[in-house]
Amino acid sequence: MTESRKHSGPASGFSRRAFLKGSGAVAAVTALHGQQAVAEQNQEDTTLVRGATTISLNVNGKSHQVKVEPRTTLLEVLRHQLDLTGAKPVSMDGSSGASTVWVAGKTVMASTTLALTCRDKEIRTVESLGGANPDAVPLAFVKHDAEQCGFCTPGFVVAVRAFLDKNPQATEEQIRQGLNGNICRCGTYANIIQAAIDLVKGGGNG
Amino acid sequence: MAEVKYSWPSRDDSRVIGQSVDRLDGLAKATGAAKYTYDINPKNLLIAKALGCPHAHCRIKSIDTSAAEKTRGVVHVEILKEAGSEIEFQGELIAVVAAESEGAAIEGRAALKVQYDVLDTFTSDEDLAAAEQAGRTSKAGGKAQTEREPGDDDDEDEFIEKEIDRLLKESAHVVEGYYGVDAITHCCLEPHGSTVEWKDGKLEAWLSTQNVSGTDDGFARDLELTADDVNVYCEYIGGGFGSKFAPDYWGISAARIARATGRPVKFMLDRDQELKIAGNRPSGYIKVRIGADENGVVKVWDSVHWGTAGFTGGGVSHTVIPYVLVPKNYRRNATAIKTNNSQARAWRAPNHPQACAMSQTAFDDLAAKMGKDSYDVFLANLKAGNVDSQQQPAVYIAEMEIGAKLIDWKAKWHPHGKGQPRGSIVDGLGMALHTWGGVANDSTCQLKIYPDGGVESFCGTQDLGTGTRTVCAMVLAETFGLKVNQVKVNIGSSKFPNSGASGGSTTVGAVTESHRRASQDALAKIFDLASQELQADAGSLEAVDGMIRVKGSPNQAITWKKACARLGMKPLEVSASHKRGDASPLSSSGVGGIQMAHVEVDKETGVVKIKKFVAVQDQGLVINPKTCKSQIYGAVIMGIAFALHEQRINDPQTGAFINAELADYKLPRLGDVGEIVVELYEPEDQRSRGVIGNGEPPVISPGAAISNAVCNALGVRVPVLPLTPQRVLEAITKQASRA
Amino acid sequence: MKAFEYAEARTEAGVLELLSAEPGKTELLAGGTDLIGLMKKMIVTPDRVVNIMEIPSLKVIEPTAEGGLVIGAAVTLDDLLENDYVREYPALVQAIRGINSMQLQAQGTLGGEVCQRPRCWFFRNGHGLLAENGTLAAEGDSRYHAVFGNQGPAKFVSSSRTAPALIALGAHLRVLGPAAEDESFLPLSEFYRAPRQAGQREHVLEPRQWVTHIVLPPPGDQHNATYEVRDSEGPAFPLAAAAARLELAGGVVRQAQIVLGQVAPTPWVSQVAADVLRGLPVTPATAEAAGQAAISEATPLPGNQYKVQLAKVAVKRAVLLAAGLETGGF
């Protein structure tokens, strides 16, 4: 947690001043309409971005300059500008988990994450588990044939990696409870369960 | 060169075939390197998004595209349905907006101003009386058959009526049942769509398709080109299940927009559009009476069923009712209902899953009524020859024995509704059986053997997830005595020789036919070359472990590479084909398969959980047990989906497909599938039949098997799939109020 | 998505500067799991989105002097699951676990979870929250709609999965605005309301008011639990849910809080269910009686009678779990 302060309970009202510390110097923010197109406007307490702007994103250990609008999702940037197409667009609302990536160590859906919120954060995609020395999770997916059409697979691979990082000794029951954020239509769940069990057994969690 | 006799090696002689081989493209898929249509991003790409009709039935009064055209980032707007058009289902695409980004395309789409005259809708496909009243029904065929023939003077219909009544009256046991299964969608995770680009007057189309070799024609026809002017590519496809055989009008639209703008265009359907318009499976509901003798052998079947395949009518074919277990006397009639839904497409094993769920439930209810074990009733009917199947009764019986052991049927079975509850949880067992053809489709394989020993095949097939690349490579490796990674398989392009669409479990048979033929032809030529060096008759040679050697004298050998070096400068090119339906020693058709489900039901909430599911499946000769089993696991899970979770929900007032997003279109998750056990049934008498596809058959039985298991648990039939908590509770309540 | 202006606040005061007084013009962005999907479908079309995830004070989980807990609105659900203080509130932990998606838990925040929009499919298909003054749901497919508190035009169900637990536990919201100096502590039970006319939100805050923290009283003896009736292991919303908090003394219930979820346009506090339990020991029979009492107030729509039974079972099982007993079901 980023800050640690003592508060009194709600009945007595905890210190408003503490909550608002450092907020005194807010410059007036322009009204919503009728303003000049300003790409980015920084105040001490706030940042405003209107229209397209170029930002830097740190993806898989590399810094990339990308052009985004406020509405541009992280998924669009990864797929269209960085050719990292492992994360997939499957649902409008992130119900499928197919666009799962790591942002600042957390498994989020790139489809419901705005690119602008990812500045200064470490982003990792499924592609970071591939290359010349693939991670144990994709290898276990191959070994257990935990993929058919493969469209959901990258999202699932990230989910399994993240799950095992947190639960390296997961039991089969925990595996069955812990990987429900992703949808597979071909029905590879039974094979994914076996892959995860094997990873726990084989210590493929490094 | 001696004439080549095409054949598979025996089980003992097979070195690659029958081994579990990792899929060759597995790592590419698992690390995000595999490129699907949705992932193809040519430079200067436009993103197209279409406006789907919000109404289930309406007439378009006017379309104003001016605001959309002025939206920042929008480059092109195309109208697909002109003012005056009648729209008969929700989601039909009306106009397309192509823009610099997805966000701009969506904003532009929202700026399209369309006025509609909303018309009456009808979507209540389960309610036959309402459909008749609304004038939405039509006869969809039927058939009656009785052991006794009508006399010359008899009116046939009257005779059948009397005969059915007589047989029912004479039956020791009569069951009247009502069963059904709601419409579902294909719900491919990669939605339908394409990325297209014009180059020198020719169309380059990356299309998410199960029909690479056939869709160039589809584009060409609608764009007034020849197939030579179109190249279709599909290296990877994110699901098809029978819904992706054509470019579809949105694919053609993408090509038109690309031509008009001079830029590449990506046009993929939105999730809700994918569900609403890009493929669904007809619903089916049945009322049936059956009569059986004292042993549970069914003597007579009398049914009427109905359902909808969308706005043009249609439904589940009567030809598969009753399903597999078919008594000597039956009458069946089908009614089609026109509803305001998009037209159904072939969904994995068309007609069979619904037919199974509408028929074998009645056999289970018969067992329940008799207080008998369902297994014994199914067995009695198989033994009595009450079978209309592409597989032999003896095979079903053998498979049932295996399945029963795997699920511990005899120990776990209890009479319907008589299990020992654990709190509010009761358990139950159910089974079902199925059949399918799985004939090998057309396929041509072009094979190149290079002087350096390299092997490369070209085939215009595609990999839906079956592991097509891998089985092709296995066949080549088997024939040439090489390792799987020593051959290269090229698929997924219409530039390659024609191979049939992947539908109806026809692909593995097709590609193994063409690859085996081409490789055996090529090997004969390599043997000819090697025979000179080995001073042996070409007919005495074999290709094993990277060597060409004389059978029986393993030391009299040269390496594969050395043999290929004798080709000289030019590669050896061989092409071989199989034609669908031609008799062949390599493939055949007609499989069975049995499945058993063990479920738990929470009587207080109506929630059903799968404890264990067993699938025993025959499919002739198995090339790759690993991917073959995966097909079955997947089919069972798709079956669990339509048995317990998924359904298209039409709002009765508006006709809208109201749950067309994944948050509401319920699919099972990893934690929902219980323990699944798959057994490949491959004794020599089945293996010797050659390769038969298995994509469809294992998806057929889960509906009936799970419904029967729930009925066994509760002692109450929950008639219509999916068995949602609502339906389970309603069935329990209805039963209680009757008692 | 409609083009909008992105705003990021780094202090609480900064947020207020960025919020419009006009309804619908500005939206607060936390995890985005709900808002971004709604914006993609153009159901929600703000001119400005204010990201509150970079405000350090919203990311705290801290005990209060009285032994309660303050949770920042931007704290993610998975961080709550791993927090030792939060573990003392089983009903909250169980509700978060029930979401059953590591992605939603890692991305979603408690503030966002409490403030998420209804799942109503008429709303999500563009018919507005009240969907033709309630008639679409009342006469249409209402299988997931309200069975309590649905006599007004609002037929949707409140979608928050943590709110029943938080209300049963006695949570307050710390609310800032509309004026710069305004700060209030609102019982969560008073936060939700069933809108009566188009344009009204499903909570009582004004456009320039926003939630900074969720404040919990001391955990007490931890006799509390959440039970959700779920038809899948996925993150799909429960068909019915209930949270129960019991104060037990000498083997009998002294006080009880019973709050149902997914059954009414607001979390549904069932006083009648609580009253039934008072003075009695918790047994399967008394828990069942509490469930039965709860549904005496049910007014199901033509298409969702079954949810009444589920509401009853949810109450019964939440009470049993709160007392440390087996539910007898899944």
Q: Calculate the CA dihedral of residues B365, B370, B374, B380 and round it to 10 degrees.
A: -110
Cβ neighbours of residue B583 under 8 Å, at least 6 residues apart? none
Nearest Cα residue in chain C from A162: C102
Phi-psi region of B328 (alpha: psi -120 to 50; beta: other; left: phi over 0): alpha
Helices (H) and strands (E) in chain C, counts: 12, 12
| Residue C155 and residue C141 in contact, taking contact as beta carbons nearer than 8 Å | no
**Per-residue pLDDT at A204:** 56
CB contact under 8 A, A1 and C62: yes
pTM of the model: 0.96
**Per-residue pLDDT at A41:** 78
- Which segments within chain C are labelled E, that is strand? 5-9, 26-29, 48-51, 61-63, 69-72, 172-176, 183-187, 210-216, 224-229, 240-249, 252-261, 268-269
**Per-residue pLDDT at C240:** 98
- Cα separation, A200 vs A160, whole angstroms: 11
Please count the CA atoms within 13 angstroms of the CA of B17 that sit on its side-chain side: 27
A22 has pLDDT over 50: no
CB pairs under 8 A between B and C: 108
- Domain annotation covers residue B208: no
Q: By percentage, how much of chain B surpasses pLDDT 70?
A: 100
- Residue A98 pLDDT grade (very low, low, confident, very high; cuts 50, 70, 90): very high
Q: Which of A72, A184, A192 has the CB atom closest to B103's CB atom?
A: A72
Tokens 């590669």 -> residue: B571
Please count the CA atoms within 13 angstroms of the CA of B544 that sit on its side-chain side: 16
Instruction: Give C-chain residues touching B602 at CB under 8 angstroms.
Output: 329-330
pLDDT digits (tens, 9 = 90+) for C164-211: 999 999 999 999 999 999 999 999 999 999 999 998 999 999 999 999
CB contact under 8 A, C329 and B423: yes
Q: Which of C234, C239, C326 has the CB atom closest to B669's CB atom?
A: C234
Please report, as a single letter, which amino acid is at residue B276: K
pLDDT digits (tens, 9 = 90+) for B238-278: 999 999 999 999 999 999 999 999 999 999 999 999 999 99
Instruction: Give B-chain residues touching A147 at CB under 8 angstroms.
Output: 23, 26, 29-30, 465
Instruction: Give B-chain residues touching A157 at CB under 8 angstroms.
Output: 30-31
Nearest Cα residue in chain B from C101: B669
C100 touches chain B (CB under 8 A): yes
Q: In the complex, which subunits touch C with 3 or more CB pairs below 8 angstroms?
A: A, B
- Cα separation, A110 vs A94, whole angstroms: 8
pLDDT digits (tens, 9 = 90+) for B137-151: 999 999 999 999 998
- Cα separation, B412 vs B419, whole angstroms: 9
Tokens 């090697």 -> residue: B530
CB contact under 8 A, C49 and A70: yes
Joined tokens for residue C329: 């079901």
CB contact under 8 A, C104 and A181: yes
Instruction: Give B-chain residues touching C234 at CB under 8 angstroms.
Output: 666-669, 671-672
CB contact under 8 A, A149 and B22: no
Per DSSP, helices labelled H in B558-621 are: 560-565
**Across residues C18-38, what is the average pLDDT?**
96
Q: In the complex, which subunits touch B with 3 or more CB pairs below 8 angstroms?
A: A, C
Cβ neighbours of residue B56 under 8 Å, at least 6 residues apart? B88, B89, B90, B121, B123, B340, B341, B650, B654, B655, B656, B657
A163–chain B nearest CA distance, Å? 14
- Cα separation, B83 vs B63, whole angstroms: 6
Cβ neighbours of residue C243 under 8 Å, at least 6 residues apart? C91, C95, C164, C165, C167, C168, C169, C224, C225, C226, C227, C257, C258, C259, C261, C318
pLDDT digits (tens, 9 = 90+) for A144-156: 999 999 999 999 9
- The residue from B546, B578, B610 where one domain ends is B578
Joined tokens for residue C57: 């004070």
pLDDT digits (tens, 9 = 90+) for B278-290: 999 999 999 999 9
Angle between helices B468-480 and B507-534 (to 10 degrees): 20
- The residue from B578, B610, B635 where one domain ends is B578
- Domains contained in chain B, number: 3
Q: In terms of residue numbers, what domain contains B263?
A: 37-120+192-203+214-268
- Domain annotation covers residue B8: no
Q: How high is the mean pLDDT of chain B?
A: 97
A75 has pLDDT over 80: yes
CB pairs under 8 A between A and B: 193
- The residue from B578, B608, B638 where one domain ends is B578
Burial B591-614 (b: 16+ CB within 10 A, else e): bbbbbbbbbbbbbbbbbbbbbbbb
- Domain annotation covers residue B174: no
CB contact under 8 A, B726 and C143: yes
- Which segments within B67-201 are labelled E, that is strand? 74-79, 86-87, 93-99, 113-118, 137-145, 173-181, 184-185, 193-199
pLDDT digits (tens, 9 = 90+) for B308-341: 999 999 999 999 999 999 999 999 999 999 999 9
Nearest Cα residue in chain A from C184: A13
- Which segments within chain A are labelled E, that is strand? 40-42, 46-49, 53-59, 62-68, 100-103, 106-109, 122-124
Nearest Cα residue in chain B from A130: B31
B709–chain A nearest CA distance, Å? 21
Which class is domain A129-202?
mainly alpha
pLDDT digits (tens, 9 = 90+) for B54-88: 999 999 999 999 999 999 999 999 999 999 999 99
Q: Which of A4, A19, A48 has the CB atom closest to C5's CB atom?
A: A48
In chain A, list all ranges with CATH 3.10.20.30: 49-124
Instruction: Give C-chain residues touching B730 at CB under 8 angstroms.
Output: 306
A42 has pLDDT over 90: no
B476 and B431 both lie in a single domain? no
Nearest Cα residue in chain B from A99: B32
C119 touches chain B (CB under 8 A): yes
CB contact under 8 A, C29 and A106: no
Neighbours of B496 (CB within 10 A): 19
Q: Which of C38, C232, C239, C327 to mutate to test the interface with B (most CBs of B within 10 A)?
A: C232
B449 and B371 both lie in a single domain? no
Nearest to B90 by CA among B654, B666, B664, B662: B654
B478 and B571 both lie in a single domain? yes
B475 and B551 both lie in a single domain? yes
Tokens 């949705």 -> residue: B38
CB contact under 8 A, A9 and C104: no
| Residue B515 and residue B457 in contact, taking contact as beta carbons nearer than 8 Å | yes
Instruction: Give B-chain residues touching A189 at CB under 8 angstroms.
Output: 633, 637, 668-670, 672-673
Nearest to B512 by CA among B478, B465, B560: B478
In chain A, list all ranges with CATH 1.10.150.120: 129-202
Q: Which of C2, C6, C35 to mutate to test the interface with A (most CBs of A within 10 A)?
A: C6
pLDDT digits (tens, 9 = 90+) for C147-162: 999 999 999 999 999 9
The architecture (CATH level 2) of A49-124 comes to Roll (3.10)
C231–chain B nearest CA distance, Å? 6
**Per-residue pLDDT at B3:** 80
| Residue C27 and residue C208 in contact, taking contact as beta carbons nearer than 8 Å | no
B127 touches chain C (CB under 8 A): no
**Per-residue pLDDT at B289:** 98
DSSP classification of residue B645: I
Q: How high is the mean pLDDT of chain C?
A: 97
CB contact under 8 A, A185 and B101: no
CB contact under 8 A, B666 and C309: no
Q: Please list the residues that pair with A106 across neighbouring strands.
A: A103
pLDDT digits (tens, 9 = 90+) for C279-317: 999 999 999 999 999 999 999 999 999 999 999 999 999
Q: Could you tell me the CA-to-CA distances from B703 to B4, B183, B369, B429, C124 in Å, in that order?
A: 45, 13, 21, 13, 30
Q: Could you tell me the CA-to-CA distances from B576 to B446, B488, B573 in Å, in that order?
A: 7, 17, 10
Cβ neighbours of residue B10 under 8 Å, at least 6 residues apart? none
CATH number, residue B521: 3.30.365.10
Phi-psi region of B139 (alpha: psi -120 to 50; beta: other; left: phi over 0): beta
**Per-residue pLDDT at A32:** 42
CB contact under 8 A, C102 and A22: no
| Residue C33 and residue C104 in contact, taking contact as beta carbons nearer than 8 Å | yes
Neighbours of B252 (CB within 10 A): 20
Sign of the CA dihedral with A48 first, then A52, A55, and A61 last? positive
| Phi, then psi, of B703 in degrees rounded to 5 | -60, -55
Q: Could you tell me the CA-to-CA distances from A161 to A182, B715, C21, C318 in Å, in that order?
A: 13, 43, 44, 34
pLDDT digits (tens, 9 = 90+) for B608-620: 999 999 999 999 9
Strands A40-42 and B720-721 come out as unpaired
Sign of the CA dihedral with C63 first, then C64, C68, and C70 last? negative
C3–chain A nearest CA distance, Å? 6
CB contact under 8 A, A95 and B661: yes
- Residue B2 pLDDT grade (very low, low, confident, very high; cuts 50, 70, 90): low
- Residue C78 pLDDT grade (very low, low, confident, very high; cuts 50, 70, 90): very high
CB contact under 8 A, A147 and B27: no
- Domain annotation covers residue B13: no
Give ipTM to 2 decimals: 0.97
pLDDT digits (tens, 9 = 90+) for A174-189: 999 999 999 999 999 9
- Residue B642 pLDDT grade (very low, low, confident, very high; cuts 50, 70, 90): very high
- Cα separation, B600 vs B714, whole angstroms: 9
What domains does chain C contain, in order, with CATH numbers? 55-325 (3.30.390.50)
Q: By percentage, how much of chain C surpasses pLDDT 70?
A: 100
CB contact under 8 A, A80 and B189: no
Sign of the CA dihedral with B112 first, then B113, B117, and B119 last? positive
B494 and B537 both lie in a single domain? yes
A185–chain B nearest CA distance, Å? 7
Q: Which of A3, A46, A162 has the CB atom closest to C9's CB atom?
A: A46
Element spanning B544, H or E? strand B541-544
- Cα separation, B711 vs B708, whole angstroms: 5
CB contact under 8 A, B190 and A129: no
- Domain annotation covers residue B383: yes
B465 and B431 both lie in a single domain? no
Cβ neighbours of residue B572 under 8 Å, at least 6 residues apart? B447, B448, B449, B522, B525, B526, B564
